[in-house]
Amino acid sequence: MLSLDNTYNIDQLKEFHSRVLKGLESVLSKDIEYFVELKFDGLAVALSYEKGALVRGATRGNGIDGEDITANLRTIKAVPLSIPTIPMNIMIIAIFTVVN
């Protein structure tokens, strides 16, 4: 799970777009479309489910190595320990935020 960077102006956005085009030039077959959303400050967590059961939860850490927080996540009511309707392996990326 990689870290996200902020973009504060149109020039930074154009620089990002140029890097994307350069990185994909060998496989690009059509125009690129972007999905843009607000960046929330919080704890990014990757939830791994195998055959519908939560098997691992990890933080982003330093962007390369994260911390296994599975035991802690199992105590949070909002984190499903199983998703029986999903029989395959899946990873869900979530941002945990604190609401005042």
Task: Quote the CA–CA distance of 63 and 60 in Å, as a whole number.
Answer: 5
Cα gap 57→91, rounded to integer Å: 9
Q: Are 81 and 54 within 8 A, CB to CB? A: yes
Three-state DSSP class for residue 93: strand
Active site members: 39
Backbone φ/ψ region at 51: left (φ over 0), alpha (ψ -120 to 50), beta: left
CB 58 within 8 A of CB 45: yes
